[in-house]
Chains A and B, each alone.
Chain A
């Protein structure tokens, strides 16, 4: 009997003995684990801003998403007031040099050392995480309600990521040619595909986005939002309205915007705005959803003499009574208007404890703008004016507010300007410029001019280059990363060559 004892002990303890064990690894086999994964790998991470130093941009840059998205358009320009002896000529333009100057390889340093595109793999990593989460949520069944929510959030995220990718690496949705225009590779499976990828058409990418959002809408119906960092049905509807707007599907865009307005129509009345607070915040009544970090607070760093500032063209769009001018911008000690939608000031010792994205902050104001634009395009002038006036009412003191009433091209132009005033530096302008160019009713395109100044010790700053981005310039498309092109051996086609703007 003695001899069989170990055997018996083992067989009885077998299951426990052979349970997979690791210090910190787990099978994703419950909804809570999928939920954790959604937080850790699905959503864009929002780095904590401890704020001990003001030159941490390069540290945080790797954690951010599209830190360069807001420096390519006509809302921004450089600010160079001289060599900064205190910071040894620190140049906040450096990190985004290739984007601001529309270099043929935008990931190049100012000394033309080639860099690599870290955003493409990062976003595809996130896309694959949500692919897996969305699929896994259908396989598990330990809590159907929560799993449905998880799947809804995952699909929303997938739509959001593809929306960003297709608008960055491919052209705008042009109704006539979308079915043949090259979009980005679409991968929605939950397993590794060992194959060469090619670019799906813009149309199929959009159709995937629309489908994902539709399912997300169903899945998230009736779900109470945990916090602003989780997508809810309002986020889904708002993104839907934006996507339809881009597709020039005006009626669907209007319907989706209406849903948001109906549920969460309250706006942040800027009459109550306190100086040195963040306009973008979870306390704002119009905040719906945010994810990712904020590079703008570094791009227009307080007190930096070699930096960025809003373009005069943008600043001129605000009338003197427009409360947004001082809620969104502040004149800093070196005399530049700087971005303060998220308020951060080392001088005033005000450091944000939370992070609000400069390219993925969904808020109600956009629903009014989307609604206005869709209505205007459909010829519903009344509704368009009404939506735009509702928004503007919250942007002026009651005494200064004057409702507008436009129609036709004037109305569309006004809504586009209003969109610029309202959504500047939230990741919209670059995409908007692209889509206005292919608008079937009111096409709009312009040339953008960016100057680039050199600063050196003992030499006054001088303009080294004045660069122009012409309409339909190939530089509107971010090049597909070289490693992806090489790896896929011809299956993945590159965008048209961007002009060489070396100087």
Chain B
């Protein structure tokens, strides 16, 4: 209480006044004098006399006199006050005076009166007389270090009624209250401060930042909030605002190089495609290798159910989006990446590949803060500048030589380009003069396929959010629109998002949170079968795109399916072959928290999500695709024979795939948190919860022909008798497919930890799941996931009070997870089939053989780490090592076909993943208001190894018994003992032949036939091929720099990736039949400019590795490899071998400027004029520069060259961003 300040102009400066008592009537004496006098007169009495009273319904004065009679105390009161007191009863026996007064005070409290001993006088005073003077506490909160005002600081009065507010952008606060109120000032990351505001509007209060170490931050694993100071698990926490730069449209793109141990593999730069993420390696072979995504504590499912084998395929481009594609990155507050077993144990078996927990933004108490941001992102298209293919003239010359050599093409040939002109000359359509003229035109044509097929794009992102609220209720609402055109002409992804987050404190005990996140997702692509970019890469520039009159120029392209030629123009295909997907999702997440007592809290959570994705793939009647089915060119009437054969008589085709996802989670959780002992030195926390979740995919696929998109999107009526083949297709072959897949999961989890003296922490987690999957009825029914972990804060023991070592903590964890495959049970599972065609009896087939001996796949993981902070927190970081071993790994083992099946899932593999992770953060320069530089290097290394101990592998380096094929070896899907998953092999190039420049390979001689026949296939493959490395990098990391000087900031994020290898694009791509290794390019195809350096004359083999053009006889002999048809066949032909040989392997190591941003905060003076708050503009670029192997010849390291389809390279983007707050 501050009663005595500031007496000047107030009539009654004291809290209360004294008036007459019974004996003496006093006028308005100053209190202190009265007290002084009274205390002086009553000095000699004993201190706490015992009182005996037995009064019923007597006036207060009666009691006063009785007490006076028994003691030396006297009562002092104002008569006016006594009028308010009703009659009082009291019954005491030898009770100390203090106690008696307490009893009386309880009676008097209602009248706002109280008795108080002041020396030897007992004063009856009016409590309400404290009525303070209305007052406005004002001031400015500044950062003690930077001396800059802080926005959003909570300022709250210490006494009831609690009044709270927040500072504005100038750090200014203004709270109603009373003179002298104590205010509590708090802000995340700063020490809490108590102040008494003077009322001065300019008074500064400094808030000291908390020591900026790893501590203080509360991290979440989705189920609990964990104090980082006692954290025992491997969790990396990122603030979304630190990693997001304009030009990034989904959060997964922003994770590259930010989290040690989290590898991002971008296999395509196509708009909307999701990157592949691996956390701490690959710990399962047959199961899904992706991490689990969690938003606000609830696992989110992908809108589409793609099977694990497809998702795991490194060449699979997921352009329909993953679980978090619909989430606006601007709505994300924080990302926690859970890496070790201790962190993920609470998620059970699903989480063996790590968990990424996203927390969305919440509102803070205070006046509404409106934020609007707009960004525009420019992406340049790929062009011939960095692509190594021939121009028209080179290509024509190449053809001339092909013809001169008499090289026979495959029997299918399109007469276009040089060959076409020559054909016309030969059959007399043209004369030599015309021929020369045509060739001359072609040589200078240089069609810009990239210009025609790809486009420069400008993507935009608009986000509007409002947040704020009162102490009791806080809100965050946001709307977002992003419009992202793709570099392939016609590709576009549009997304509309909205988020509502409400947090309400209903009363002291009950708290309610609700969030509603919804999105609409529109994706418009060129149908995948068109493979537009491939066309740009591989089409001869001598072929025209347009006719001289400006119309599209068509040529006859070979169709393998129909063994025929049809008109083709790529722009016509792009425009009329569309893959349009419309998706929408809504996620509701609500929970109630109830504080049962100070130590026990209960939570009920309910989350529901619904998503709907409709993908429509359409082909117009004028497409090559339709011509293929129809059997005739567009507009050419069908002959009667064709009518009989055609499966598409009229119009085009429309394929519709609809997928709905419905899922819900219900969770009840109890949290216990108790400290005890001296100074609360022991802390026990525990969480017990139960959860039911259900996830259902339903949908259907249809395929309809006769589609007339330009005639009101109708379907033509087709007479089945006139078109019997179509009728057969429509009635028999084209069955609609309905999908229905339901996964229910019932789980219980428990976690507890004990901390002593905030130095030693021990933690235990466990969870068990029961599901409705067929695999759940496995042999060993019950296998919980569990982990133990601990932390020792060594600095407190060893470096107490050290100025150099601020934090030094050791963390360790061990955890154990089991995994069961769906459908592998000791029971027979049958698949219901069609009724028997003749008897009509129901029939079923065996879907899954009983697998009674299958055990759980078990993964044990050790994680050790040291967290440190040195030199007054200038250097922070952590160093981790993990060792993850999967035993009993599921492998498809080959078994004798006498068992009725070829492969069978067995527990025969072991997978080891180990690695080092380094996360550092330096602040070399921290000049207060001036220059600041922070640098955070990250490094993650993961080494993966498969140890197969399958039956009878007594031969060293034998495969695990898996049915590996030679293409498995070449594309990195073979499973080989002692090799990392995704290792791939290549043929061993042995130089070009001196005689004809043909490529030769080691151990590739027909004289080996007898030897190879006596070996297993794997042994043969390993003789003719050698390991080339891995498709997944072993080291990935990033270096993040942040500079700021006054209101300008610059951030620069470098990412690097080491250890992966890629193949160069094939020199001999697939032929028209899809067979790899086509030595004679079709006239329409372009060829790599590498051929300019090809072998021409004997002796060239010393300085070139590019094979020669063979003469006809030699060429024919190379069409089929000599091992063709043998059980050990290991190649298609030498051209396919050449493309897959070791000289076509290049390191995919890169160092990339993945993000660069320069921002400028608008000075406050200007902002004030416009009534704005926190406003900044920034320029950003992503993927601006990549340092990679020069042997890639312009190929992007993300373009792996393993599959026939060429993926869009990662392109640089340039963005402008403006963010305004009101």
Contacts and interface: CB of A to CB of B under 8 A. Distances in A.
Interface stretch (B184-192, B896-904, B987-995, B1044-1052): B896-904
Given A6-B668, A18-B772, A37 B830 contact: yes
Contact of A37 (B667, B744, B844, B899): B844
Nearest to B690: A7
Contacts of A187: 898-899
Interface in A149-203: 185, 187, 190-197
A3 B594 contact: yes
Contacts of A24: 831-832
A497 to B, nearest CB: 14
Interface residues of B, number: 70
A274 interface: no
B901 A128 contact: yes
Nearest to B951: A194
Given A40-B845, A486-B1016, A17 B744 contact: yes
Contacts, number: 192
Interface stretch (B679-687, B734-742, B760-768, B1155-1163): B734-742
B433 interface: no
Given A17-B692, A33-B844, A489 B952 contact: yes
Given A41-B845, A136-B828, A185-B898, A18 B604 contact: no
Contact of A22 (B728, B741, B898, B1126): B741
Nearest to A126: B900
Contacts of B839: 39, 226-227, 229
A14 B1127 contact: no
Interface string B831-843: 1110011110111
A23 interface: yes
Given A3-B594, A28-B830, A194-B893, A39 B838 contact: no
Contact of A195 (B741, B828, B841, B896): B896
B895 interface: yes
A113 B899 contact: no
Contact of A48 (B670, B837, B847, B851): B837
B668 A52 contact: no
A141 to B, nearest CB: 16
B668 A7 contact: yes
A17 B747 CA distance: 12
Contacts of B1016: 486
B898 A4 contact: no
B959 to A, nearest CB: 13
A36 interface: yes
A387 interface: no
B846 A37 contact: yes
Contacts of A14: 746
A28 B604 contact: no
A40 B604 contact: no
Chain A interface residue bracket vs B: 35 or more
Given A3-B604, A192-B849, A229-B838, A484 B898 contact: yes
B552 interface: no
Nearest to B596: A3
Interface in A408-438: none
Contact of B830 (A33, A121, A197, A226): A33
Given A18-B776, A28-B829, A36 B746 contact: no
A125 B900 contact: yes
Interface in B1097-1137: 1125-1127
B823 A29 contact: no
B850 A132 contact: yes
Nearest to A190: B850
A113 B1125 contact: yes
Contacts of B893: 194
B894 interface: yes
A377 interface: no
Given A6-B692, A7-B668, A21 B897 contact: no
A372 interface: no
Nearest to A6: B666
A195 to B, nearest CB: 7
Given A23-B740, A192-B851, A486 B1127 contact: yes
Contacts of A2: 592, 604
B1115 to A, nearest CB: 21
A192 B901 contact: yes
Contacts of B844: 26, 28, 33, 36-37, 39-41
Contacts of A483: 897, 1127
B830, B838, B902: which has the most chain A beta carbons within 10 Å?
B830
Contacts of B592: 2
A124 interface: yes
Contact of A23 (B602, B739, B773, B1125): B739
Nearest to B744: A17
Contact of A484 (B604, B728, B897): B897
Interface in B586-600: 592, 594
A186 B685 CA distance: 62
B831 A128 contact: no
Contacts of B902: 121
B384 interface: no
B316 interface: no
A127 B900 contact: yes
B717 to A, nearest CB: 22
A27 interface: yes
24 contacts: A3-B594, A20-B777, A23-B739, A33-B844, A36-B842, A37-B845, A40-B833, A41-B844, A41-B846, A47-B837, A124-B898, A126-B900, A128-B899, A132-B828, A187-B898, A191-B849, A191-B852, A192-B904, A194-B893, A197-B896, A483-B1127, A486-B1016, A488-B896, A489-B952
Interface of B: 592, 594, 602, 604, 666-668, 670, 690, 692, 694, 724, 728, 738-742, 744, 746, 770-774, 776-777, 823, 827-833, 836-839, 841-852, 893-902, 904, 906, 951-952, 1016-1017, 1125-1127
Q: Which 7 A-B pairs have the closest CB atoms?
A: A128-B900, A40-B843, A48-B837, A36-B844, A125-B900, A39-B843, A28-B828
Interface of A: 2-4, 6-7, 9-10, 14, 17-29, 32-33, 35-37, 39-41, 46-48, 52, 113-114, 120-121, 124-129, 132, 136, 185, 187, 190-197, 226-227, 229, 353-355, 481-484, 486-489
Given A40-B836, A127-B900, A483-B897, 17 more contacts: A6-B667, A6-B692, A10-B666, A18-B746, A21-B772, A26-B844, A35-B841, A39-B843, A129-B846, A132-B846, A187-B899, A193-B895, A194-B906, A195-B896, A196-B896, A197-B898, A487-B896
